[in-house]
């Protein structure tokens, strides 16, 4: 995994809408440029023998379909295949991860799981998603939103944690649910090999305890994307010891409870 990713600038004319990192020939990380939207989320494209899976479609102002199609075409050529079905899964329903959904409407051989709790529950009832010789565990982790899920790729040992665990501000809308979910993740991480914990954003700087202000596009000194199981264990220890939601600055993350009725919950754009 790269230690540094392009964020947004300093010169936006030189930035591509998506920076693509090939983790391996069946696992791609895409980062949307902060020049298109300050959320600059990360997306993941993973190939099995029967299906490709796209984790999120990014935030506004991007041509995500083009970026994804280019990667799929490349994979098809390398594997001497004519086509592969595409499954679109969302980490959760916030706008900065589903804004590109509409671009996939009408795309052949494409299934998009609607970003809402009922659809996610229905599709992932078994807890396992098989892309063809590649099983992924689906772990419900409500708290940031009710429909948040984590995904564990058994082949690489990568755990995708969406907006629930990442080097940045962990916005919590339902604290009891969040506390339970973090413990679920810690239990999972303790019993599985974890190569990387990969979330959806970077908002921390490389200086411990310090995050970039909301809305920052260019982050030349940002924290690395990849975290380890240790970060989940630390988060679990802190969250389990909190009897009431409060803002807590950790070395690599900030817990930022948004308590209904106390502070207005602002859905991220
Ligand atoms: Zn979110
Ligand atoms: Zn987000």
pLDDT in tens, 195-244: 999 999 999 999 999 999 999 999 999 999 999 999 999 999 999 999 88
pLDDT of residue 69: 98
In the predicted structure, residue 108 carries a pLDDT above the cut 60: yes
Ligand 1 centroid from CA 92, angstroms: 7
Q: Which ligand is nearest to the CA of 94?
A: 1
Ligand 2 centroid from CA 78, angstroms: 32
Ligand 2 centroid from CA 16, angstroms: 20
Query: What is the C-alpha to C-alpha distance for residues 136 and 210, in angstroms, rounded to an integer?
Result: 33
CB 54 within 8 A of CB 68: yes
Ligand 2 centroid from CA 182, angstroms: 17
Ligand 1 centroid from CA 144, angstroms: 7
Q: What are 131-162's pLDDT values in tens digits?
A: 999 999 999 999 999 999 999 999 999 999 99
Q: Which ligand is nearest to the CA of 92?
A: 1
Mean pLDDT of the chain: 95
pLDDT of residue 268: 53
Ligand 2 centroid from CA 80, angstroms: 36
The percentage of the chain sitting over the pLDDT mark of 70, rounded to a whole number, equals 96
Ligand 1 centroid from CA 117, angstroms: 14
Ligand 2 centroid from CA 39, angstroms: 7
pLDDT of residue 260: 54
Query: What is the C-alpha to C-alpha distance for residues 81 and 158, in angstroms, rounded to an integer?
Result: 26
Ligand 2 centroid from CA 36, angstroms: 15
Residue 43 CA: distances (Å) to CA of 57, 186, 247, 263 = 7, 23, 27, 30
As a dihedral over the C-alpha atoms of residue 23, residue 18, residue 45, residue 49, rounded to 10 degrees, the angle is -80
pLDDT of residue 258: 78
Ligand 1 centroid from CA 79, angstroms: 35
Residues written for the chain: 269
Ligand 2 centroid from CA 77, angstroms: 33
Ligand 2 centroid from CA 197, angstroms: 16
The percentage of the chain sitting over the pLDDT mark of 90, rounded to a whole number, equals 94
Ligand 2 centroid from CA 237, angstroms: 24
Which residues, in sequence order, are bridge partners of residue 135? 130
Query: What is the C-alpha to C-alpha distance for residues 233 and 247, in angstroms, rounded to an integer?
Result: 18
Ligand 1 centroid from CA 77, angstroms: 35
Ligand 2 centroid from CA 82, angstroms: 34
For the residues 94-101, what does the mean pLDDT come to? 97
In the predicted structure, residue 24 carries a pLDDT above the cut 60: yes
Higher-pLDDT residue of 237, 267? 237
């Amino acid at each position: 995994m790269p230690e540094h990713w392009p964020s947004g600038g300093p010169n936006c004319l030189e930035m591509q809408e998506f920076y693509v990192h090939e983790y391996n020939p069946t696992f791609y990380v895409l980062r949307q440029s902060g020049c298109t939207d300050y959320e600059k989320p990360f997306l993941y494209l993973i190939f099995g023998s029967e299906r490709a899976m796209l984790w999120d479609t990014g935030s506004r102002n991007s041509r995500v379909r083009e970026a994804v199609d280019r990667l799929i075409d490349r994979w098809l050529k390398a594997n001497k295949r004519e086509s592969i079905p595409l499954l679109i899964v969302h980490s959760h329903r916030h706008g900065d991860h589903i804004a590109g959904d509409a671009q996939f409407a009408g795309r052949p051989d494409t299934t998009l799981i609607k970003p809402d709790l009922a659809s996610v529950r229905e599709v992932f009832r078994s807890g396992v998603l098989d892309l063809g010789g590649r099983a992924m565990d689906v772990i419900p982790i409500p708290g940031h939103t009710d429909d948040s899920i984590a995904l564990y790729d058994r082949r690489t040992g990568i755990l995708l944690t969406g907006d629930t665990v990442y080097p940045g501000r962990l916005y919590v809308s339902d604290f009891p649910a969040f506390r339970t979910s973090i413990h679920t993740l810690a239990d999972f991480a303790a019993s599985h090999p974890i190569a990387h914990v990969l979330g959806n954003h970077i908002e921390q700087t490389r200086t411990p305890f310090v995050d970039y202000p909301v809305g920052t596009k260019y982050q030349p000194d940002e924290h690395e994307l990849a975290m380890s199981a240790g970060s989940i264990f630390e988060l679990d220890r802190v969250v389990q010891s909190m009897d009431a939601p409060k803002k807590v600055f950790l070395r690599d993350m900030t817990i930022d409870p948004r308590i209904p009725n106390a502070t207005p919950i602002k859905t991220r754009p």
